[in-house]
Structure 1
Amino acid sequence: MSEWWTYRPSDFLLFSPRVYERLIEAHNAALWPFQPVGVLLGLILLVAVWRGRDGEARLALAGLGVIAAWVGWSFLGQRYAAINWAAGYAEVGFAVEAVALVAAGVVLRAPLATSNALRRATAILLIAVAVVAYPLLSSLGDRSLASAETFAFMPEPTAIATLGALATLRRRLALALGLVPLAWCLYAGMTLWTLGDAVAAAPLGAAALFLATLALGGRSRQVSGERLRSR
């Protein structure tokens, strides 16, 4: 029996890169031609964050909740769970995230607008990456165009866009609502990295940028408050 330290991350994978790619291709084929609708919804989310109006922002949060529930059920539960047992737990996580986002947008009526320039820039960047860049990145290299991953249909771009929207909330609320998309970005990024897929840098980078922005954004507001009190 081999010693535990001789194992590599790839030894724990339950599927090959080709199996994963074919799974995405089958998912895309079954839902075509609705993927452009996902891109349109992502652009609407981007505009809502850019405009910073509370009414639109709350609707965007609730919409993200519906999308999270759909992605969790349609891909994680119905397809990914067939080759990865952990996807079943992720489906539950996405369902919890869906309820939390709808509650934040409709019940708590949490404002998405912010005057913090760093927060807004991060939000716009992450959403743009998720909606526009991620489908292109995920179809580069050895992958086919049929395996492109789009917002509102695949978990990685959906999680990245969600982090973008949450980046403009109050820090504690953003962290609470960001636990599931953060966890998924880390898990998916490590899985893609183990598969040798360069697109792993996108979810991992998104998670790091989200956390760094909340830390720096919160610190800048604290410093500004201290300066005002000292005057």
Structure 2
Amino acid sequence: MADWSSYRLEDFILFAPRAYWRLFELHNAALWPAQPLILLLGFGITLLALRGSPRAGRLGLALLAAGWVAVGLLFFWQRYASINWAAPYLMPVFLAQAILLLLAARAAILPARPLRRFREWGGVALFAYGFFLHPLLPLVFGRPLAQAELAGLAPDPTAIATLGLLCLLPRGLLSGLSLAVPVLWCLVSAATLHAMDEGQALAPLAAALVGAAVWALPPRGDGKADTGPIRT
């Protein structure tokens, strides 16, 4: 019987870092010019959230639900499966997450007021990071920008942006269930990147911890009762 204590996390990684990052380069090339449209949509949702539009939650969740479907089908099934045998088994999880987000979107009406809670500002910051800053990490770690990971096309920024948007919603059963998969995926991604000795592992790990902590913050306002939101 094998001594499992002799194995390290990196022993279970069956691909080289170069092959992993090359996947994103090929993925981006195949889906161009979807990237500018995705960034534009993310910018629009961010503006709506900052302006306190009650439509931000519903539109954002619908956009991210489409992103989870796209990542499950186009990235895990068609691309990641070529180097990771477990990828096809993750696809149904991403599709299930999309369904949860669509269910949450049906009742996701934000209060029509400017952001005033730390929880809400933290959510917008995470959402904006997932859409606009995470794609720039290749430049930080010495890789070409062609290998950028974008929300709606790659799993990490999609999960991070989802964590941020869920922090804008009132806490409830659906929003709590919708939080689980993004947090777990960020932890899985952090472990995978750590096993490849990639410094970028800190990004999904920090996002999971910050997202869960911000979502769990008590809904403290400025003393005025909120009107409009429906619990999800």
Query: Does TM-score exceed 0.5, indicating one fold?
Result: yes
Structure-2 separation of matches of 1:7 and 1:88: 24
Q: Higher mean Cα deviation, 34-43 or 209-218?
A: 209-218
Structure-1 separation of matches of 2:128 and 2:143: 22
2:64 aligned partner = 64
8 Å Cα contact 1:62/1:104 also seen in 2: no
1:74 aligned partner = 74
SS of residue paired to 1:138: helix
Structure-1 separation of matches of 2:196 and 2:143: 12
Structure-2 separation of matches of 1:62 and 1:2: 47
Q: Higher mean Cα deviation, 112-121 or 154-163?
A: 112-121
Q: Which amino acid aligns with 1:28?
A: N
Q: 1:111 aligns with which of 109, 112, 119?
A: 109
Alignment of 1:1-231 (within 5 A): 3-106=3-106, 109-113=107-111, 117-172=117-172, 173-218=174-219, 220=220
Report how many aligned residue pairs link the two structures: 220
8 Å Cα contact 1:49/1:165 also seen in 2: no
Q: Higher mean Cα deviation, 82-91 or 93-102?
A: 82-91
SS of residue paired to 2:217: helix
Structure-2 separation of matches of 1:175 and 1:57: 15
- Structure 2: where are the runs of 5+ without partners? 226-232
* Pairwise CA distance, 1:14: 1.3
State percent identity of aligned pairs. 42
- Structure 1: where are the runs of 5+ without partners? 226-231
Distance change (3 Å), C-alpha of 1:5 and 1:202:
same
8 Å Cα contact 1:42/1:131 also seen in 2: yes
SS of residue paired to 1:110: coil
Query: 4+ residue runs of structure 1 moved beyond 3 angstroms?
Result: 112-116
Q: Which amino acid aligns with 2:186?
A: C
Structure-1 separation of matches of 2:73 and 2:217: 35
Distance change (3 Å), C-alpha of 1:56 and 1:2:
closer
2:230 aligned partner = none
Computed over aligned residues only, the root mean square deviation of the Cα atoms, in angstroms, reads 2.2
SS of residue paired to 1:171: coil
TM-score normalized by the length of structure 2:
0.86
Structure-2 separation of matches of 1:200 and 1:128: 19
* Pairwise CA distance, 1:51: 2.4
* Pairwise CA distance, 1:59: 2.1
SS of residue paired to 1:99: helix
Q: Which amino acid aligns with 1:63?
A: L
Task: Give the helix-richer structure, 1 or 2.
Answer: 1
Distance change (3 Å), C-alpha of 1:112 and 1:202:
farther
* Pairwise CA distance, 1:65: 1.0
* Pairwise CA distance, 1:11: 0.4
8 Å Cα contact 1:50/1:120 also seen in 2: no
